[in-house]
Structure formats: structure tokens, C-alpha cells
Amino acid sequence: MGKIDQLVVAVLEAWLEGKVSKAPGAKTGWDNRCMPSLTPVPASHWKLSVAPMMDWTDRHCRYFHRLLSKNVLLYTEMVTTGALLHGDVARHLRFNAQEHPVALQLGGSEPADLARCAKLGELWEYDEINLNCGCPSERVQRGAFGACLMAEPQLVADCVKAMVDVVAVPITVKHRIGIDKNESYEFVRDFVGAVSEAGCPTFIVHARNAWLKGLSPKENREVPPLRYELVQRLKAEFPGLNIVVNGGITTPEQVAEQLRGLDGVMVGREAYHNPWWLASWDAAFYGAEPIAELTRETVEEQMVHYMAQEAAAHGTPWSSIARHMLGLRHGLPGARRWRQVWSDHKLKDLQPRDVMLLSHSEVQKTA
Ligand SMILES: Cc1cc2nc3c(=O)[nH]c(=O)nc-3n(C[C@H](O)[C@H](O)[C@H](O)COP(=O)(O)O)c2cc1C
């Protein structure tokens, strides 16, 4: 940990020392004068979001997505409490001011650790802190968090309570509809009931079970069947909560249909692989005027500018940024050749602007 990180953590420790009791889940030692004033967050905050995706939705990807939609809510990749409390805080939490609204997703199951990390997230000015209760990976299970937390609603409630007690930004939970072969609605209902009572008003529900044994994380996003009706039932049973659906949503028609009954739709893989779709969201779902200047070319141009800035400020190679925009020309003639140029490591010593010019001349050749 760098000196500044150590300082931030020390200040945070001191701050929390005075505000929250040590025992997780126990009655907190809040001094009422220090209670955060909870700012009401409009439900439209969750209307459309891009899902947290490990190794994909880093700050470069989020910068790119923000160029496409001014309104969509963006999520970070999951950051574990261990990585934040013992690692390089700035590396995990730094983001571009343009990314707002942006939510930090945490992975962990220790209420006191999560409280510290939520506070760090708030200090870094994230707009929301989300707890991951949906990741099925074996590594995450060994850490006793992610989807296996759904079997312990009281522990999740303690985690939520510990975070709600120390931050004013919204705390949300992302979870599945069940684990393993337990398909009962009551399981997810009781989970949402217990966790909402602890102070979480917003649930992002990936509408399939997580099978904790025998499936890879990738298979766990494809094999267990989608059951949107359970998400609708949650909304009917808890009309006062914000219920956001996730999983398998790839078309504007699906988004519109889900928004008729629910508070929001979170899109993952389709947003990543077909990012130009995001460019229509502000007009289609937020009532914004279409922006004539917003074209694939202007977005690419802005990304080239960003690549040069990032290289100058942090020495970031352009390929670490370009990899997130490879789907920009999805479905257009020449898209494959354009993608090949932008992912060609032999060009790594070229300036991004020259790579762009090369990619355009290659696309022309395929016309
Ligand atoms: C590469 C990849 C990484 C993911 N990482 C996370 C993660 O860090 N946290 C999380 O809650 N979900 C993660 N997910 C799951 C997505 O957030 C989302 O729930 C899932 O992809 C289903 O939505 P979709 O069908 O719209 O893609 C990941 C998904 C993918 C494809």
C-alpha cells in the first residue's frame, strides 16, 4: 500500500472507530449527530444500467460507455474487501469524473470490512455501493461471498446494516433468484425480505439460479433457466422496493417490456459486445433529444483523444483501452477488419490516431 492509501485507511479507521461498534451486526455505536442524511434517490437512477463485469467494466470501458449514454448507470467490476483494505486503493477506486453516475460493486461478507470499504467508496465519490450476492465462482465461494451469501440472509442483512450505518449513498444488493436446484420463490422472497428490513431498498436480480457446483461462471450465466416471472412477483410483493431485472436482455423491446412492471433493467454482455446500442438509450428511455453529432466516428475520435491523455498521464497502452470498444462497429460492413486493426499488438508503438487512420483505410478497402 502506498503512503497516501495508508493515510486514507488510517483516517477512515479513526472515523469508523468513533461511529460504528466493532461487533458485526451488533447494535452500532452511532452518535445520532453523525447520522448521514439520506438523500432520496429517484427510482430512475436504476432505470438502465450496464452490469458489473470483471475484467470488462474497468474505468476505460465505463468512460467509453458514458460517451454513448449520458444517463445509464455504470457499475465497476467487483472489488473485494480484501483487495481494498490490503491493496492499492487508488488503483481499485480511481475513476474519471465523466463516469457519473457510477456504482462501486463490493465483494465480501464481513460487515465491519464492508462498512470500511463502503466508506472508502463514498469518500471517492461513488454514487452507490452494491454488494455482490450473485457471483458463483469457486474462488469467490472459498472467500464465502458472492452467490453463496444467499443462503445466509441474516449475514447479508448485517452487512447491509453495517454499510447503511456509515454512508449516505444508496446501498444496493445484486443477487440471483436462488442457489443450486432450489427453485422455490419463497427462498428469494425471504432473502429480499430480510435484507430490505436491514435498510436496502434496491435489489438487482439476475433472473436465474446460481448452481454452485459443477458449472463454470460462464455456464452459470447461460445454463440455469431465466425466470423473469419471479422478479415480477418480487415487485408485486414488495411494491415499495426498487426491483431491477438482469439476465439475457438484448433488445429494446425486452427493455421496454420489463420497464412496464419493474424499476430498472441491467444489461451485461449485450452492452459490452454491441455498445452502439447504448447510443439510442437516452432518446428511447430517458426522453432526451437525439444528438446528431453522436456517431460511431465521433465516439472513436473521442476515445483516441482519451487514449492519448491516459498514455501521457499514466502510461496506459492504447490497447488496454481499445479492447473495450471492439464491438463499436458490430454489424457493419468491414467491422471485422476494423476490429483486427484495433486489436493488432504489432501496432502497439503507433500513436492511437495513426491506428484509427489505418483502421479506416482498411475498412474502405473492404467496401
Ligand atoms: C465477463 C463477465 C464478468 C462478470 N463479472 C461480474 C462481477 O464482477 N460482478 C457481478 O455481480 N456480476 C458479474 N457478471 C455477471 C453480470 O453482471 C450479469 O449478471 C450477467 O452477465 C447476466 O446479464 P447479461 O445476460 O445481460 O449479460 C459478469 C459477467 C461477465 C460476462
Encode pLDDT of 50-74 as tens digits.
Answer: 999 999 999 999 999 999 999 999 9
- What are residue 246's DSSP bridge partners? 206, 266
> Each residue of 94-142: pLDDT tens digit?
999 999 999 999 999 999 999 999 999 999 999 999 999 999 988 887 7
**Nearest-angstrom CA–CA distance, 324 and 299:** 13
**Nearest-angstrom CA–CA distance, 336 and 359:** 10
> Each residue of 200-218: pLDDT tens digit?
999 999 999 999 998 999 9
Instruction: Tell how far the Cα of 211 is from the centroid of ligand 1, in angstroms.
Output: 15
Residue 1 has pLDDT above 80, yes or no: no
> Residue 139 has what pLDDT?
82
DSSP one-letter string for 228-252: HHHHHHHHHH-TTSEEEEESS--SH
The arithmetic mean of pLDDT across residues 242-246, rounded, is 98
Cβ 126 vs Cβ 139: under 8 Å: no
Instruction: Tell how far the Cα of 107 is from the centroid of ligand 1, in angstroms.
Output: 13
> Each residue of 265-301: pLDDT tens digit?
999 999 999 999 999 999 999 999 999 999 999 999 9
Residue bearing the bigger pLDDT, 6 or 115: 115
> Residue 25 has what pLDDT?
29
The arithmetic mean of pLDDT across residues 250-278, rounded, is 98
User: Which runs of E-coded beta strand occur in the chain?
Assistant: 48-50, 73-80, 102-107, 128-133, 171-176, 202-206, 242-246, 264-267
Pocket around ligand 1 at a 6 A CB cut-off? 51-56, 77-78, 105, 132, 134-135, 174, 206, 221, 246-249, 267-270
Report the relative pairing of strands 128-133 and 171-176 from DSSP bridges. Answer: parallel
Please state the φ and ψ torsions of residue 8, each to the nearest 5 degrees: -60, -45
3 state DSSP class of 58: coil
> Residue 245 has what pLDDT?
98
By percentage, how much of the chain surpasses pLDDT 70? 89
Active site residue 148: no
